[in-house]
Amino acid sequence: MSTTTASEYTPALQTKLPAVGTTIFTVMSTLASEKDAVNLGQGFPDFDCDPKLVGAVTDAMTRGLNQYPPMTGVPVLREAVAAKLQNLHGRSYDAGSEITITAGATQAIITAILAVVHPGDEVIVLEPCYDSYIPNIELAGGIAVRVPLVPGSFRPDFDKIAAAINGKTRAILINSPHNPSATVWSREDMLRLQEILAPTEVLLISDEVYEHMVFDAAQGRVHESAARFPGLAARAFIVSSFGKTYHVTGWKVGYVAAPAALTAEFRKVHQFNVFTVNTPVQHGLAAYMADASPYLDLPVFYQRKRDLFRAGLAKTRFKLLPSEGSYFQCVDISEVSDLGEADFCKWLTTEIGVAAIPLSAFYGNGFDQRVVRFCFSKKDETLNLALERLAKL
């Protein structure tokens, strides 16, 4: 009996994301590692979380809480999230039917989009924006409608937003505090959005992962969650991140709050793209949330780092843009270099030893306005080392 050996052959694929390549974050982090640069590019802390949180997760593991949890999330954590939203924003969400624990905010956003966007639907995205938004929409068969924030101030242009809405518009995605610009939407902004959406069937996906990093409370600035506005909350998927709040970005745990009818559709997709989320981490987070001070104190914690970093940058030729929230600081490079943003970031990493991210990476058309983004969620010694190097500019 003769046998034949099949030749190796890999069938060709037609990519679903032809415009997607290696992200700028990977490129800059790789370059930072090669050049032993201080990495202020990617948005994650270089310091540890509270040992009490690790202890709470460890305790859950040792108690045997290591098997599948409910698809929607463990009840005690969903109840803690609902209580937080009620206490902070005055909105009552039912923990059973309106809160879902997710594998991070990025999974939450794509799940919301897949749940509601059909082929040909339009989704309004405000640029510059987090890099997952557009691919998420495209994977759902939707059409991303890019509306720019006002260059320089990065405020929403509500006339352009209103003009972009039509019968095909399925949703709008907003993000406050904003990555990458560090701006924060005001109460007036949220009321204007509520007014625009009121006569429409447009859904809202509100990315609020930096909700506990809003600065200058003495000036009256607060996080205006979509949950605070009945006309928005009734049509909104509100997304947040335990990873951002508790300095554990690698744990990839977040949540979504939405009305029961929207949550039901969200969970149909959630159960098949991730099903459920790390059990002991959920129990650990629930126990840790019994004390609200870690997230209530977060604005002061990060504002001190922001002020330290801004004071150092003020001694350079960078022009500082406002940093109202998040853990990012944007600067205008016009008086430092004639290079475009991307080339400047590569030069800065290679020659000065500090990595940053060009804002052009957050625009579909690569719009270059001579602005780059630093991340200050770092140890003081890391920030001081970066400032020492940047002082050479």
DSSP output for 311-364: HHHTTSSPEEPP--BTTEEEEE-TTT-SS-HHHHHHHIIIIISEE-EEGGGGST
Which of 172, 210, 225 is CA-nearest to residue 377? 210
Quickly state the pLDDT bin for 122 (edges 50, 70, 90). Answer: very high
Residue where the block lists tokens 């870690």: 294
Task: Say whether pLDDT at 4 is over 70.
Answer: no
Distances in Å between the Cα of 108 and the Cα atoms of 133, 136, 184, 255, 316 are: 11, 11, 21, 7, 39
Mean pLDDT of 213-230: 96
> Which pLDDT value is given to residue 19?
86
In tens, the pLDDT along 330-340 reads 999 999 999 99
Q: What is the mean pLDDT of the chain?
A: 96
Sign of CA dihedral 145, 146, 149, 150: negative
Mean pLDDT of 370-392: 97
Task: Say whether pLDDT at 176 is over 80.
Answer: yes
Which of 120, 101, 138 is CA-nearest to residue 280? 101
Mean pLDDT of 262-289: 97
> Which pLDDT value is given to residue 26?
86
Neighbours of 332 (CB within 10 A): 16
> Which pLDDT value is given to residue 1?
58
Residue 342 tokens, joined: 């991307």
Are 257 and 81 spatial neighbours (Cβ–Cβ below 8 Å)? yes
Quickly state the pLDDT bin for 204 (edges 50, 70, 90). Answer: very high
CATH topology (fold) of 24-42+297-390? Aspartate Aminotransferase, domain 1 (3.90.1150)
Residue where the block lists tokens 């994977």: 139
Mean pLDDT of 317-326: 98
Provide the whole-model pTM.
0.96
> Which pLDDT value is given to residue 2?
58
Domain boundaries, the chain: 24-42+297-390, 51-291
Decide which of 58 and 392 is more confident: 58
> Which pLDDT value is given to residue 24?
80
Torsion of CA 33, 36, 40, 41, to 10 degrees: -30
For residue 81, give the H/E element and its range: helix 75-89
Does this chain's domain 24-42+297-390 share its CATH topology with 51-291? no
Task: Say whether pLDDT at 3 is over 70.
Answer: no
Instruction: State what percent of residues in the chain have pLDDT above 70.
Output: 99
Are 339 and 228 spatial neighbours (Cβ–Cβ below 8 Å)? no
Could you tell me which residues are beta bridge partners of residue 237?
205
> Which pLDDT value is given to residue 141?
97
Tell me which CATH code domain 51-291 carries: 3.40.640.10
